[in-house]
Chains A and B, each alone.
Chain A
Amino acid sequence: MDPLEERRCRRILEVAPGASLEEITRAYRLLRQLHGQDTGIFAAPAMDEFSAEARRDALEAIETAYAALSAPETREEAPAAEDVQAARPVPDAPAARPALASVPPGAATALGRARDAAGLTLDQVSAETHVRRDYLQALEEERFESLRLPTVNVRGYLTAFAGAVGLAEAGFVPAYMEKFIAWQARHQPR
């Protein structure tokens, strides 16, 4: 399991870095009990932070983290070198890969075609949307493995990108996200 991912999971379960599987299981049971209760007065109903969705997300994150940490096969799995690279956001990634500048315009995908049609470079789109260029490029080329981001960010960046290049097709974002989420489900450690 990717060490960064493991650290993230341990944080979600609120256990120390060296915690044993037994401690992890205990922590998981307690958290499930605490966050699973419907009427607990700790969940301030008036606050957005405790919306039904937010509470479901918190519970889901707990389940996913426990599943990842407790599955023996994921603990033995060594991450591929390129995966580790992709999981860590590298601020100067575009500069480190100068070859990308010479990559021909991405006419292969809908986003690429729309960007070509609008006559914009990725840098221009990046300046306008405030989204990092390497994320835009990964979105355009549908390289999902380089988009290790919360789904909400992917959707946000995608919407901004599509808006900036004038891709007005109504079903574009949902269809793309469906593809992304399906990919994510296949690649998430179970």
Chain B
Amino acid sequence: MRIWAVGGGKGGTGKSLIANGLAMGLAERGGRVVLVDADYGGPNQHTFCGMRKPATSLAQFFEQRVPLEQLALDTPVPGLRLIPGNVNSPDTDHVTFAQKQKLFRHLRLLPADHVVLDLGAGTQYDTLDTFLMADLQFGVIVPDALSIENFYLFLKNLKYRQLGSVLSGTGLREPARAIWRQREEHGIANAKDFVQHLRTLSAAFAEGLDRAQERLCLHVLLNQVRDFGQVELGLAVTSAMHKHFAIDGRFAGYLRYDKDLWQRFAQGQPAATGAASFTLHHGLAEVLDGMPQSPSPAGD
């Protein structure tokens, strides 16, 4: 089984729709897929799936320990099940790290080939941690300076969380703090120098960080492309991610802007099907076909 996570910082870039479309595309290819609405701040997946009022939600897993298998509801798309987010309780935005770890453990036990997580916007630690725990990461951007700036901030925070966990794992958290405090003496001007310094200091740290970095391969998806020239921006951001943030990734492709898409929501049918939006469906199919075939981690 593979767990996919869709994130990327800024709100309104199409993360939820893309998570939905990817899940649908995977189901159409014959996979058993569970889509999880983990966007605690703004769950929409039920609407994207064309479902009016889901009877249960992910909140019941956290609050009443209802098994995930019971919460995965059938959708109009064969092979695709949805664990909806909670829209009827005002206080679902407080999920602890331990709860997320538990969620992942239980997700891995689901009888499914793919689990797709819709994470929502923002760079809160819990969003970042969940993102890092997944097997496959998608970052969604749109061709404007605001979305790109927020995406970089997302990357920066992602690196910071990754670094913190490797430092804790190698017992270097305190020495690293001391070095950072005396960074001028060590000739450290920025985060990159700092990491390089720690690498030369401890082989265990270097190894741990390499492993964490190898695990992370971010697939950058450019949404709402209105003009073909904008595609270059996707390539530039992906390369900048590598050059300026030391994160490996690949440009997963782009999706054309569909000006009529808004009319397809809440019509009682899934929004990302070929019948509802040919443009979106076709774009996502190309993204999925272009995915590198790497062996599935953990599990089967």
Contact = CB atoms under 8 A, between A and B. Distances in A.
Given A34-B232, A41-B148, A50 B187 contact: no
Given A49-B156, A91-B203, A152-B193, A160 B243 contact: no
B236 A160 contact: no
Q: Is the interface of B mostly helix, strand, loop or mixed?
A: helix
Contacts of A44: 145, 148-149, 152
Size bin of chain B's contact surface: 20 to 34
Contacts of A34: 232, 235-236, 239
Size bin of chain A's contact surface: 35 or more
A43 interface: yes
A153 B233 contact: no
Given A49-B152, A153-B196, A153-B200, A42 B186 contact: no
Given A130-B201, A132-B200, A153-B197, A42 B240 contact: yes
A49 B196 contact: no
Contacts of A131: 200-201
Contacts of A129: 186
A184 B266 CA distance: 64
Given A35-B243, A156-B193, A163-B185, A149 B200 contact: yes
- Among A47, A49, A157: residue with most chain B CB under 10 A: A49
Interface in A71-91: 89, 91
A177 B243 CA distance: 25
B93 to A, nearest CB: 28
A40 interface: yes
Nearest to A59: B243
- Among B179, B240, B244: residue with most chain A CB under 10 A: B244
B186 A40 contact: no
Contacts of B187: 152-153, 155-160
Contacts of B236: 34-35, 37, 40, 42
Given A50-B244, A89-B200, A152 B149 contact: no
Contact of B149 (A46, A54, A89): A46
A58 interface: yes
B55 interface: no
B156 to A, nearest CB: 7
Contacts of A91: 203
A31 B242 CA distance: 11
B175 interface: yes
Given A41-B145, A42-B240, A46-B149, A130 B186 contact: yes
Interface in B158-200: 175, 178-179, 185-190, 193, 196-197, 200
Contacts of A35: 236, 239-240, 243
B107 interface: no
Contacts of B179: 130
Contact of B240 (A43, A48, A150, A155): A43
B300 interface: no
18 contacts: A30-B235, A35-B243, A40-B236, A41-B233, A42-B148, A44-B148, A46-B149, A47-B156, A49-B190, A58-B244, A130-B179, A149-B196, A150-B196, A152-B187, A152-B188, A153-B197, A157-B187, A159-B187
The 5 closest A-B pairs by CB, nearest first: A156-B187, A42-B236, A91-B203, A49-B244, A58-B243
Given A35-B240, A40-B233, A54-B244, 11 more contacts: A34-B235, A42-B240, A44-B149, A91-B203, A132-B200, A149-B200, A152-B187, A152-B188, A157-B187, A159-B187, A160-B186
